Chain A
Amino acid sequence: MSSTSDIAALTEREYQAGFTTAVESDTVPPGLDESVIALISGKKGEPAWLLDWRLKAFRRWREMREEDARWAKVKFPPIDYQAISYYSAPKAGKKLASMDEVDPEIRKTFEKLGIPLSEQKLLAGVAVDAVFDSVSVATTFKAKLGELGIVFCSFSDAVKSHPELVRKYLGSVVPYSDNFFATLNSAVFTDGSFVYVPKGVRCPMELSTYFRINEAKTGQFERTLIVADEGAYVSYLEGCTAPMRDENQLHAAVVELVALDDATIKYSTVQNWYPGDKDGRGGIYNFVTKRGACRGARSKISWTQVETGSAITWKYPSCILQGNDSVGEFYSVAVTNHYQQADTGTKMIHIGRNTKSTIVSKGIAAGHGSQAYRGLVEVNQKATGARNHSQCDSLLIGDKCAAHTFPYLEARNSSAQIEHEATTSKISDDQLFYCRQRGLSSEDAVNLIVNGFCKEVFRELPMEFAVEAQKLLAVTLEGAVG
């Protein structure tokens, strides 16, 4: 047998979520200036303060240079930001009263993806806020959450129904001037999700949103804000698939999390955007800024991500540990196959006393995939008793892929305890042969070994997500051995 060709055969499988839906869209012409921003804001009926905020971001963005955001270990051609259309919404005539009124085409799309939008999902305990292109078309289980005072709605709705909360927290974790892509997002974001869990409330179900890019040449600029008030708990799931496209599509989302005293936020992502074909054509550029602030004492923010898609992933879900005894966690599996590139990791900024952070990163590279872990652990002067443990493991499949680790450690307090462990391993011919001698195909053997490698991270995912993640990994690595 030749293990390289087995790996090659495994990776050949085509992207399964590749189809587009024929829905009439309300799309503005490509290009970006202040009038487009005013138009977006106007279409959404936003208050003046929000338009001002967007315009401030836009003016700042014009002074920024994309080159300055190109420090990551990824390569991509120049992006023409004037060729992108910044607004696209499915045409919904009137307000929808129930799921039955949602455009059947859209419902079919979600069904193909296996997205649980139906009422039956209530039994499974998942509330779904479906984002189709940029505008929410359906929100379920609002009533049940409403009884507990939990707000779970589209960002646009939140601006109308809870302007004081949005105004207080928007940009408080990721300022509008943060970085090139986050600043662009601040100027043009169209929709996203908003969650507020009031004092002492434990959200009884996993909150879930599915994002989907559908309109050709439409960049997606999601904005998500989650606030857990004192003693609150919430687990939020984000899952992504996109239809097949030949052109690169820019995705620059911003996610902000705020945890007050004794609050916990668990944020899980399974990302399966179109990675491009096996020769590296097409695919999504995923340039995301995700950051959480553990603002209160004993608060906790936990990021879990499984990144299998996108042509380029540029993403560093981070925690600012301000509150004393606060805890930050980052669990990540990133897979790159064919010509996919991923530069991902986290930042743990220790500010409060006795703050604790854990980083577990598992990178898998196959084909010509390139993979970089980039992580910063920063312990500030006042962060007495800060502790961090980082574990960064890379697994290589085949001999044309690459894995890099860039750990940055900055400790300004002598009591800090920082541990960093890193390993790189390769699926060996001996392991493959051993599995095959027991009857397993090369493909199954690779999946078995990869799943074993990722176990620590999958354990952190809610059950049904863990199953989906394993399936995605198998699909992503098809053709990876030969």
Chain B
Amino acid sequence: MLEIRNLHVRVEDKPILRGVDLVIRAGEVHAVMGPNGSGKSTLANVLAGREGYEVTQGSVLFRGKDLLSLAPEARARAGVFLAFQYPVEIPGVGNSYFMKAALNTVREARGLPPLDAIDFLKLVKQKAKELEMDETFLSRSVNEGFSGGEKKRNEILQLSLLEPALAVLDETDSGLDIDALRVVADGVNRLRSPERAVLAITHYQRLLDYLVPDRTHVLIGGRIAKSGDRSLALELEKRGYAWIEAEAQ
């Protein structure tokens, strides 16, 4: 599904990623953990194609094709979804109107007919219910005046509507209380299938109690310093990152 090879990325001339290798197969959930400033969010943003991230070396293949040469919207249409760490407010644009526009664009790319207003409303109401979101969120402006937790739920609502092949979650768990965390993780779990993959970037292992990863990676200083299974995350929680840094040197 996703093959990252020797990826080097600079932000304003500062090297952030310094040779990341990561392979995610269809059906897998991978967690990337690491201390602040290790390059986790850079990895998420560079996969989505945000401006200001300069790839100096390496390659990213998504379903065998060069991902980095695509515009952000082309990546989205090809099936890459980023759940934003800081979802953006768009005043005046209705949330459900926005999601319908996005869904129909993605459906068109998949060769599916657009959903009409009635079918869309039915679908989005059902998805909102699964995420225990009040229907009033659908008629409000995109993320405007939403609390931190509400914004994160709204990201997962979009994720569950768009059903991407690869979901990249950028610290989706931060700012969520324990109940919200469970709801959000359940939302992601519902999407798990042999055709899809998830890359979950997180600071805390508690998300992984609910969203159990197949592989856990530790990103330190712009490289993957250690990879393991679920137990690695638990060990990190107990021991912190210092021992891995020491081990890596």
Using CB atoms and an 8 Å cutoff, list the residues of chain A in contact with chain B. 1-3, 425, 428-431, 433-442, 444, 448-449, 451-455
Contact of A441 with B73 at beta-carbon distance under 8 Å, contacts A429-B51, A434-B84, A452-B141 already known: yes
B51 touches A438 (CB 8 A): no
| A-binding segment of B12-20, B102-110, B121-129, B207-215 | B102-110
* Inter-chain contacts of B48 with A (CB < 8 A): 437
Mask: chain B, 137-149; 1 = CB below 8 Å from A; 0 = not: 0000100000000
Can you list 5 contacts pairing A with B, beta carbon distance less than 8 Å?
Answer: A1-B72, A434-B84, A438-B162, A448-B90, A455-B92
Measured CA separation A362–B50 after assembly (Å):
30
Measured CA separation A452–B95 after assembly (Å):
11
* Inter-chain contacts of A2 with B (CB < 8 A): 51
B93 touches A439 (CB 8 A): no
Contact of A439 with B90 at beta-carbon distance under 8 Å, contacts A433-B72, A452-B141 already known: no
B105 touches A440 (CB 8 A): yes
Contact of A440 with B50 at beta-carbon distance under 8 Å, contacts A1-B72, A449-B92, A455-B92 already known: no
Measured CA separation A249–B217 after assembly (Å):
68
Q: Which residue of B lies closest to A6 (CB)?
A: B71
B93 touches A434 (CB 8 A): no
Scan residues 87-135 of chain B and give those whose CB is less than 8 A from a CB of chain A: 87-88, 90-94, 97-99, 101-102, 105-106, 109
* Inter-chain contacts of A430 with B (CB < 8 A): 88
A444 touches B90 (CB 8 A): no
* Inter-chain contacts of B94 with A (CB < 8 A): 452
A439 touches B77 (CB 8 A): yes
Contact of A437 with B76 at beta-carbon distance under 8 Å, contacts A431-B88, A452-B93, A453-B92 already known: yes
Total contacting residues, chain B, CB less than 8 A? 31
Nearest first, the 5 closest Cβ-Cβ pairs linking A and B are A452-B92, A452-B93, A438-B102, A439-B76, A434-B88
Sample of 17 more A-B contacts, CB < 8 Å, known A425-B91, A452-B92: A1-B71, A1-B72, A431-B88, A431-B90, A433-B72, A436-B76, A437-B48, A437-B49, A438-B76, A438-B106, A439-B73, A439-B77, A442-B73, A448-B93, A448-B101, A451-B93, A452-B91
Measured CA separation A2–B101 after assembly (Å):
22
* Inter-chain contacts of A434 with B (CB < 8 A): 84, 87-88, 90
* Inter-chain contacts of B81 with A (CB < 8 A): 437
Scan residues 42-71 of chain B and give those whose CB is less than 8 A from a CB of chain A: 48-51, 71
Does B205 reach chain A (CB closer than 8 Å)? no
Measured CA separation A451–B51 after assembly (Å):
25
B90 touches A452 (CB 8 A): yes
Measured CA separation A442–B76 after assembly (Å):
13
* Inter-chain contacts of B90 with A (CB < 8 A): 431, 434-435, 448-449, 452
* Inter-chain contacts of A442 with B (CB < 8 A): 73
* Inter-chain contacts of B50 with A (CB < 8 A): 433
B102 touches A440 (CB 8 A): yes
Does B158 reach chain A (CB closer than 8 Å)? yes
Does B82 reach chain A (CB closer than 8 Å)? yes
Q: Which residue of B lies closest to A442 (CB)?
A: B73
Measured CA separation A1–B91 after assembly (Å):
23
The residue from A3, A439, A451 contacting B105, defined by CB atoms under 8 A apart: A439
Scan residues 162-220 of chain B and give those whose CB is less than 8 A from a CB of chain A: 162
Q: Which residue of B lies closest to A427 (CB)?
A: B90
A436 touches B71 (CB 8 A): yes
B76 touches A448 (CB 8 A): no
Q: How far is the CB of B106 from chain A (nearest CB, A)?
A: 5
* Inter-chain contacts of A438 with B (CB < 8 A): 76, 98-99, 102, 105-106, 158, 162
Q: How far is the CB of A5 from chain B (nearest CB, A)?
A: 12
* Inter-chain contacts of A435 with B (CB < 8 A): 90, 98, 102
Q: How far is the CB of B96 from chain A (nearest CB, A)?
A: 13
Q: How far is the CB of B60 from chain A (nearest CB, A)?
A: 16
Q: Which residue of A lies closest to B80 (CB)?
A: A437
